[in-house]
Amino acid sequence: MVHKYLALSVVIICSTLSVVGQSDSLIYAEGKILNAATKEPVTARVTYQSLPYGNRVGTLNANSYSFPLFDNEKYSLIVEAPGFTTAKFLIDPAEAKGNNKVLKDIELSTTTTGNNKHLVGNVMRLDNVIFQVGKSKLNEESYSELDVVVNMMKENPTMVIQLEGHTDYLGDAKENMKLSQARVDAVKSYIVSKNVNKNRIKTKAFGGTQPLSRDDTPEAHRLNRRVELRILEN
């Protein structure tokens, strides 16, 4: 009996050491997201995807990021925030330091020219605009990001924007098109309710025809469901 318990203890200890050893060998990518001009934190949408096949996809909404680089794969990193130029990086585990971390702070530049005008043609993803599942009703968490859009349009009174709605590619294509149109209509209604002229806001529905990822995973489908803002005139 003593020998049986001793053997069981050895197995548990060895298994624990194996898990700890695997965790210790993982390399993490970490960094802060900052305004390039002011060095203040910026809350952004961070999308990371393993290369070359995109088998692992993840998203974060924060002013910093941290995620593991499994199997020593390289990852693409896309950082987006309203009012800032999209930043794209390659994360290489070979750049890890002694603490098994690839440290890379990301500085975002504002999407303005020297005369303080937003660039025509610029597209911003409104990643904090959230709807009820399968519906076009805005959640209250969306209001803070939409208020940023309202302020942007009031500060730029000649600006004309187009709201573009996207769903994932699952389900009926016609229903997806109707849903994406209803969602951008809801976003437009909110902005107009804040005293922005409705003629300055165009809408366009794409349904599931322009996915960002073809991976059949919950993360990828969530990434594909989005509202984008395109600046048409300024």
213 and 154 inside one domain: yes
Question: Where a domain ends, among 85, 108, 131?
Answer: 108
At residue 14 the predicted structure's pLDDT band, cuts being 50, 70 and 90, is very low
Closest listed residue to residue 48, CA positions, set 93, 89, 21, 78: 78
Mean pLDDT confidence for 146-170: 91
The answer on 228 and 135 residing in a single domain is yes
Question: Which of 40, 75, 108 is the C-terminal boundary of a domain?
Answer: 108
If you search the block for the tokens 């924007």, which residue do you land on? 161
pLDDT at 16: 39
Residue 1 has pLDDT above 80, yes or no: no
> For residue 144, is it within any domain?
yes
Domain that holds residue 98: 26-108
Same domain, 178 and 142: yes
pLDDT of residue 19: 40
Residues 55 and 103 in one domain: yes
Q: In what order do the strands lie in the sheet with 226-233?
A: 123-125, 226-233, 160-166, 201-207
The answer to whether residue 127 is domain-embedded is yes
Q: What is the pLDDT of residue 24?
A: 58
Give the per-residue pLDDT at 199: 96
Whether residue 148 sits in one domain with residue 67: no
